[in-house]
């Protein structure tokens, strides 16, 4: 069978793979602690479920406009205006099949063969793959554990080359929890605006910052730099709605029109009744979000405390998102050399599913999602302690 070159060099997403293997072992009867995919264990907000149910009962089951329902797009514009002072109106908003599709379609719209995209690293497994899929070249800019993987402006700016079409930021960051300060974000956006480069800001974890930290949204700079700032977001993590597959993009009207044209040939609209549910979540589920944030903060503390006690493991407290990204290279030994073997061994021997750091560009680390119950965290820590006993 002939495969396209672009598909041929693509492997299954490492996060998806880890979650799939955990599910397979569970189905085979093993008790697995699943710390793999980033997926809140909370139920979707009742208001969202009710609104979607109502939409189905009313027969709201047909195609909508490719860019999504006007109501949800208007609600998203209002939400960004209120939270971040962003100037976007309905024709600058589109709804997508999860944040992943928004990113994919933006890459396909902005990147030509031979172009490059600058991405702070470690980064989410899907970013470099999508850039390559579009024919581009990811340029990874290291961030460091020593300062909590904070994203600094200067190294990002220094990495930009004449072929660079976009800078892809993700704060809080999956997998590190690192964040960008407002002044660094402004410097990057200012610099990119001068050079005609897009700043694509994936703000999927924007509601999950800990210890009173505030999220710096690129949306706050959109009025000043309308052609530079693009924001992508998702209902998946914020509202525990992963399976609903609702994400969105906010950008200039001409760019949104073009990405919508791409979407019209890819997925058409996102699911009609799921958009009704998303709209209800956006306007009526703030308490659910606050509850989740408080739970994630407690779980983060529990997990990091437990990890720090393990010999050879060091783990700074992540500033945001719901992942710990411990340094575990001191625990490597024959049969567990590197994060791939280490993760494999943990799953086989201890029944704990994690994602190898290599998938995010950091082989000395592994990623642990703490979007699971405290009981699971405690049980996983016990298994980890046992598996790492010399």
Least Cβ distance, residue 23 to ligand GLU (angstroms): 13
Strand, coil or helix: 137: strand
- Asked if residue 306 has a cis previous peptide bond (ω within 30° of 0), the answer is no
Least Cβ distance, residue 19 to ligand GLU (angstroms): 7
Which residue shows structure tokens 């779980």? 299
Nearer to ligand GLU, 124 or 370 (CB): 124
- Contact (CB, 8 A) for 178 and 155: no
According to the binding rule CB under 6 A, does residue 178 interact with ligand GLU? no
* Strand ranges inside the chain, DSSP E: 33-34, 93-96, 116-121, 137-142, 164-170, 198-202, 229-234, 247-250, 323-324, 352-353, 355-356, 366-369
Nearer to ligand GLU, 38 or 120 (CB): 38
According to the binding rule CB under 6 A, does residue 272 interact with ligand GLU? no
Nearer to ligand GLU, 16 or 226 (CB): 16
The three state secondary structure string of 350-379 is HCEECEEHHHHCCCCEEEEECCCCHHHHHH
Only segment of 1-9, 13-21, 157-165, 293-301 that touches ligand GLU (CB under 6 A): 13-21
> Looking only at residues 90 through 109 of this chain, which bind ligand GLU when binding is defined by CB under 6 A?
100
According to the binding rule CB under 6 A, does residue 37 interact with ligand GLU? yes
Identify which of 223, 221, 220, 164 has the alpha carbon closest to the alpha carbon of residue 197.
Answer: 164
Which residue shows structure tokens 């480069």? 197
Q: Please provide residue 349's backbone torsions phi and psi, each rounded to the nearest 5 degrees.
A: -85, -40
- Contact (CB, 8 A) for 178 and 146: no
> Looking only at residues 124 through 153 of this chain, which bind ligand GLU when binding is defined by CB under 6 A?
124, 126
According to the binding rule CB under 6 A, does residue 13 interact with ligand GLU? yes
Least Cβ distance, residue 2 to ligand GLU (angstroms): 28
Strand, coil or helix: 36: coil
> Looking only at residues 273 through 292 of this chain, which bind ligand GLU when binding is defined by CB under 6 A?
none
Only segment of 8-16, 294-302, 306-314, 336-344 that touches ligand GLU (CB under 6 A): 8-16
Q: How many Å apart are CA 274 and CA 189, to the nearest integer?
A: 33
Which of 38, 247, 361, 380 is in the footprint of ligand GLU by CB under 6 A? 38
Least Cβ distance, residue 243 to ligand GLU (angstroms): 11
Which of 44, 170, 174, 263 is in the footprint of ligand GLU by CB under 6 A? 174
According to the binding rule CB under 6 A, does residue 170 interact with ligand GLU? no
Give per-residue burial for 117-132: e unless 16+ CB within 10 Å, then b.
bbbbbbbbbbbbbbbb
Only segment of 11-19, 244-252, 290-298, 328-336 that touches ligand GLU (CB under 6 A): 11-19
Q: How many residues bind ligand GLU (CB under 6 A)?
A: 9
Contacts to ligand GLU by CB under 6 A: 13, 15-16, 37-38, 100, 124, 126, 174
């Amino acid at each position: 069978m002939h495969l396209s070159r672009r598909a041929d060099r693509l492997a299954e997403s490492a996060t998806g793979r880890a979650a799939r293997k955990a599910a397979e072992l569970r189905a085979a009867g093993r008790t697995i602690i699943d710390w793999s995919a980033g997926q809140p264990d909370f139920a979707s907000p009742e208001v969202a479920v009710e609104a979607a149910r109502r939409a189905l009962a009313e027969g709201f089951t047909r195609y909508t406009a490719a860019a999504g329902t006007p109501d949800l797009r208007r609600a998203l514009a209002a939400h960004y205006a209120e939270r971040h002072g962003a100037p976007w109106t309905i024709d600058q908003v589109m709804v997508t099949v999860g944040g992943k599709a928004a990113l994919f379609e933006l890459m396909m719209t902005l990147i030509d063969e031979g172009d490059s995209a600058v991405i702070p690293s470690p980064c989410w497994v899907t970013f470099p793959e999508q850039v390559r899929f579009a024919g581009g070249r990811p340029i990874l800019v290291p961030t460091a554990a020593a300062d909590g993987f904070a994203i600094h402006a200067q190294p990002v700016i220094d990495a930009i080359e004449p072929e660079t079409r976009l800078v892809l930021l993700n704060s809080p960051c999956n997998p590190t929890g690192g964040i960008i300060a407002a002044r660094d974000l402004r410097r990057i956006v200012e610099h990119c605006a001068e050079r005609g480069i897009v700043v694509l800001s994936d703000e999927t974890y924007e509601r999950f910052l800990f210890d009173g930290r505030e999220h710096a949204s690129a949306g706050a700079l959109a009025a000043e730099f309308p052609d530079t700032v693009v924001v992508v977001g998702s209902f998946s993590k914020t509202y525990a709605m992963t399976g609903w597959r609702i994400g969105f993009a906010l950008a200039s009207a001409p760019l949104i029109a073009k990405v919508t044209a791409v979407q019209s040939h890819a997925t058409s609209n996102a699911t009609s009744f799921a958009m009704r549910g998303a709209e209800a979540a956006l306007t009526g589920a703030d308490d659910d979000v606050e509850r989740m944030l408080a739970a994630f903060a407690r779980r983060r503390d529990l997990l990091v405390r437990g990890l720090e006690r393990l010999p050879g493991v060091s783990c700074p407290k992540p500033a945001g998102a719901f992942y710990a990204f411990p340094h575990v290279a001191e625990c490597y030994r024959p049969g567990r050399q590197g994060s791939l073997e280490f993760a494999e061994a943990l799953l086989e021997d201890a029944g704990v599913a994690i994602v190898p750091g290599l998938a995010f560009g950091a082989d000395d680390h592994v990623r642990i999602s703490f979007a699971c119950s405290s009981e699971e965290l405690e049980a996983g820590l016990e298994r980890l302690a046992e598996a790492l006993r010399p």
